[in-house]
Structure 1
Amino acid sequence: MARPRTEIGTYGTINATEVQVGKWRARTRYRFSDGKSRQVEKYGPSKARAISALKVALTTAEKDWAGELKPTTTLRVLAQMFLDHKRDAGKADGTVETYGYAVTAHIVPKIGDLALGEAKPARLQRFINGVERDSGSGAAKNCRSALSGMMSLAVINGAIEKNPVRELERISRPKGNRRAAKAIPLGELPSFLTKVRADAHLNKWDTVELIEFMLASGWRVGEACALDVSSVDFEDGTAAVVAVNVRVNGKGVVRQEFPKTEKSERVTPLPSRTMDLLRRRHERLGEFTTLLFPTPLMRLRDPSNTQREIRDRRDHLGYPDLYTHSFRKTVATILDKAGLSATEIADYLGHENPSMTQDVYMNTLKGSTRAAEVLGQRLDGLI
C-alpha cells in the first residue's frame, strides 16, 4: 500500500544528524501550498536544539510570501477577513449582507474547516453543486460570488497563486416549470390597470400609483421605493435614480445612496402624465415626507413587501405570473415594438449591457427622450 501523502501545510519525519562535533542538523520535508514538498533544515549545538529550531522555522515556512494569510488558513478565517474587507471598502449594506448570508448559511458550516491550500476546484465544485441542489441556483450563485471574492483576497495576500473559483462551471438559469415574470400583454394594459385601481388591498397599501410609475419608468422596485422629490426635475420632466431601498439585518429598511450598478445611476425622461402623477403625490405627501412612494405610515417602503403585495393579489387580478419585474419587461416590450434599439432600451432601463436587454427583456432584436415619448403615447389615457 502506498504511503499516505503529507497534507499541505504539514511536514514529515524529522531526522537529526551530527554533522560535526557540537553541530547538529535537523531536516524534514514540508509540503507547501503549491503541492510540492521541499526540504527545510536548521542547525543547533545539540540534537534537541536543532530539532527545536527546525520546528520554529516550520511555523513560518511560508510567511515571507503568504502575508497575513497562509495556505493553512481555513476558509472560516478567510471568510471573516473578506467580510471585514468589504465593510472597510465601503460596500453597500445590502451587498455585505448578501455575502454574509452566503458565508454564514453555507460556506462556513459546510467547508469552513477546509484550508486554503485544500480548496481545489473539484472540492469547491462539489460544494457549489450541493448548494444548488439543496437551496437553488440563486444561493449557489451568491456562494460562488462570495468564494471568488474570498479567493481573490487570498491571491492578493500571496497565500495562493490563482483563484480556483475561476475554474468552476457557470451556474445556469433554472429550467423547467419555474414561474418567471412575464410582460403584461400590451392589448390588456387598459383592463389590467382598471383591475389594479379597483383592488381594495392595493389601494389600502398605496401600491396603485407605484405600479403606474413603474409601468411608465421601467425602474426596479427598489429604485422606485427610494425616489425622493430632490431627485425629480419637474421643469425638465426627469427623475434621477440615485438610491435604492434595501432591507438590512439589524437596521431594517435603509435608503442605500447608490444604485445597483454604475449604469443604474441614470436620469430618466418621463412622460408628462407620469410627471403629473409625481407632482400630485408630492403635493399630497410633502408636509410629511420628501419620499414620493413611502408606506402609508410615511416610512421607507420595503421592496420585498411590495413584491409580496403583488404576489398576494396577482391571482385575483388574473395574472398568475405577475411580479414587480413584469413592469420592466412591459416597458421593454413597448419600446421594442416602437423600434428603439437594444442600446436605447438598455440605457432607459439602466442595464450594463444591451445583451441583457436582448436576452431577458426583449422578444425581438428589433435612456432617451424618444423612449419617454413612446411610452407617453402608448400609455396616453391609461396613466
Structure 2
Amino acid sequence: MPRPRNPIGSHGVINVDELIPKAKYRARTRYRFSDGKARQVERFGSTEAKARHALKVALTTIEADRGGELKPTTTLRALGQQFLAAKRDAGRSEGTLETYGYAVNVHIGKGVGDLSVAEATPERLQRFLTRVERENGPGAAKNCRSALSGMMGLAVRNGALPRNPVRELERINHRKKKGSEAIPLQDLPTFIERVRNDPMLIEWDTVELIEFMLATGWRIAEVCALQIDSVQDDFTAASVDAIAKRVPKVGMVRQEFPKTETSRRTTPLPSAAAAILRRRWERLEGQTALLFPTPLLRLRDPSNTQREIRDRRDALGFPELSTHSFRKTVATMLDSAGLSARDIAEYLGHANPSITQDTYMAKTTGSRKAAETMQSRLDGWF
C-alpha cells in the first residue's frame, strides 16, 4: 500500500547532515507546496541544533517567501502585511490605514506574529486580546480584534482556514467614559460673549470657527477643510466634501472624502452662518481658497484647534468643553424645537437617526427646517 502523501502546507522528517566536522551542518526535508508538489528545502547552521532551527523557521514562511498564496503555515506577521496591502489597494483612508497599521505592527506582530495561521486558535487569540485590553485599554483591543478579523477573513478567502476564529471571541466591552456635554442653552449667550472677547481665541482666529460650528453642527475636521468652492454662490448652503487630516510623514492634507458616506452632505445654512462665511471670504479672497485657515493661511489642524479650545475652556468658564460639545449643543437646540430624529440626523450627517437619539439628543441634503430653526434660535446671539 503506497505511503500517504503529506498534506499541503506540511513537511516530512527533518534530516541533518554534518558537512564540516563540528563547523557546518545541513538540515533538510521535503515540503508539500500549494501546487501539490513536494520539494526539498534545506538550511544550514554551525551546529546541528541551529541548522534544524533555521529550517523550522524557514518552513513557517516558505510559501510567503515564494510569493505563493496564503497557507496554514503563513505567520500572522506575514498575513498582517498582506492584509494592510489589501486595504491600501482598496483605497482605504489614511486614517484607517494608520489605525490598522498600528494594531498590526505594534500589537499583533509583536504579540502573536510568530503564530502560524493554523495556530491562531480562538483560545490563543482571546488570551492575546485580553492582554492588550489589560495593558493598553479597550480601544487598542478593539482595533486589534478588528484587524485580526480582517486578517483571518483574508486567510479564509484564500483557503488557508475553513472558518474565521475571531468570530468565536468575546466582544470587547468599552468602559464607558464621560462624553462631551452640550452647552446649556441658557448659558449659550454668555459663552458666545466670552469667546468673542477671549484674546487668545482672537489671536488664533478661532472665534468665527466656533460660531460656525455652533450654527451648523459640523465636525471640526469638516470646518477646517471647508473651501469656497464648496459654498453656494449666495452663501445659502455649504457642502461637506472633505476633511482636514494629518498624515504621518506627509503632514496636513485635505482628504477629499469625509468621515463616512453619509457625512458627505449639503447643509442649508442659517443666515448667521452664511454671514460668517461671506465676511471671511471678503477678507481671504485672493489669498487662499480655505475659509477657516490658520493665521498663516495654511490648512488648519483639527487636533491643534481642539487643543487650543481645551487650553481656553477654564478661562471661558466651561471646564468640560470640547469641540464635540458644539455638535451636541446644535442637536439639543433642534430637539428642543421639536424636530424629528431624522431631521436632526440629516443636518448633522449621521448615518442612522438612532445615533442621534442615543448620543446627541438631552445628506440628500440637511433639513432646511433645521436651518430655519437654528437661525431662530441664534437670533440675538450672532
User: Residues 189 and 234 from structure 1, CA distance in 2 versus in 1: closer, same or farther, beyond 3 angstroms?
Assistant: farther
Report the counterpart of residue 275 of structure 2 in structure 1: 276
Query: Could you say which residue in structure 2 is the equivalent of 1:167?
Result: 168
**What CA deviation, in whole Å up to 9, does each residue of 1:75-94 have, x standing for no partner?**
11111111111111221122
Q: Which residue of 2 aligns with 1:255?
A: 254
Contact 2:215–2:272 under 8 Å retained in 1: no
Amino acid at match of 1:255: R
Q: Structure 2: how far apart are the matches of 1:248 and 1:373?
A: 37
Q: Does 1:111 align with 2:102?
A: no
Secondary structure of the structure 2 residue equivalent to 1:77: helix
1:343/1:172 Cα in 2 relative to 1: closer, same or farther (>3 Å)? Answer: farther
Do the aligned residues in 2 keep the contact of 1:79 with 1:150 (CA within 8 Å)? yes
Instruction: Note the C-alpha offset of 1:179.
Output: 3.9
**C-alpha distance in 1 between matches for 2:158 and 2:5:** 26
User: Could you give the per-residue CA deviations for residues 6-64 of structure 1, whole angstroms, max 9, x where no partner exists?
Assistant: xxxxxxxxxxxxx6xxxxx544765989xxxxx99xxxxxxxxxxxxx9545344889x
1:301 Cα deviation after fit? 0.7
Cα gap change, 1:62/1:317 in structure 2, threshold over 3 Å: closer, same or farther? farther
Q: CA deviation at 1:290?
A: 0.4
Q: CA deviation at 1:110?
A: 1.0
Structure 2, unmatched stretches of 5+, are 13-27, 38-63
2:272 alignment partner, SS class: helix
Determine the structure 1 residue equivalent to 2:155: 154
Q: Which deviates more, 162-171 or 255-264?
A: 162-171
Structure 1 residues 277 and 173, CA, compared in 2 at 3 Å: closer, same or farther? same
Deviation at 1:205, TM superposition (A): 1.2
- Secondary structure of 1:72 counterpart: coil
**SS where residue 104 of structure 1 aligns?**
helix
How is 1:294-373 mapped onto 2 (pairs within 5 angstroms)? 294-363=293-362, 367-373=366-372
1:169 partner letter: E
1:58 corresponds to which of 14, 23, 32:
32
SS at match of 1:255: strand
Shift of residue 335, structure 1, vs aligned partner: 0.9
Deviations 1:168-189 (A, max 9, x none): 23333323xx442111001100
The unaligned stretches of length 5 or more in structure 1 are 1-18, 20-24, 34-38, 41-53
CA contact (8 A) 1:227 1:243 kept: yes
- 8 Å Cα contact 2:6/2:32 also seen in 1: no
2:214/2:329 contact within 8 Å kept: yes
User: In 2, are the aligned partners of 1:62 and 1:70 still within 8 Å (CA)?
Assistant: no
Alignment of 1:123-272 (within 5 A): 123-175=124-176, 178-235=177-234, 237-272=236-271
Q: Which residue identity does 1:374 align to in structure 2? A: T
Partner of 1:96: 97
Identity in percent: 62
Is the contact made by 2:9 and 2:73 (CA closer than 8 Å) also made in structure 1?
no
Q: Which amino acid is 1:340 matched to?
A: L
What CA distance in whole angstroms lies between the structure 1 residues aligned with 2:334 and 2:204? Answer: 30
How far is 1:227 from its partner? 0.5
Structure-2 change in CA distance of 1:296 and 1:127 (3 Å): same
Task: State how many pairs are aligned.
Answer: 338
Provide the C-alpha distance between the structure 2 equivalents of 1:170 and 1:212, rounded to a whole number of angstroms.
40
**Contact 1:294 1:301 (8 Å CA) reproduced:** yes
Give the TM-score of the pair, scaled to structure 2. 0.82
Shift in Å at residue 250 of structure 1? 0.3
In the superposition, the TM-score normalised over structure 1's length comes to 0.82
> CA offsets per residue over residues 199-256 of structure 1, 9 Å max, x none?
1111111111111111111111111111011000142611100001111110011111
Instruction: Please tell me the residue identity of whatever aligns with 1:295.
Output: T
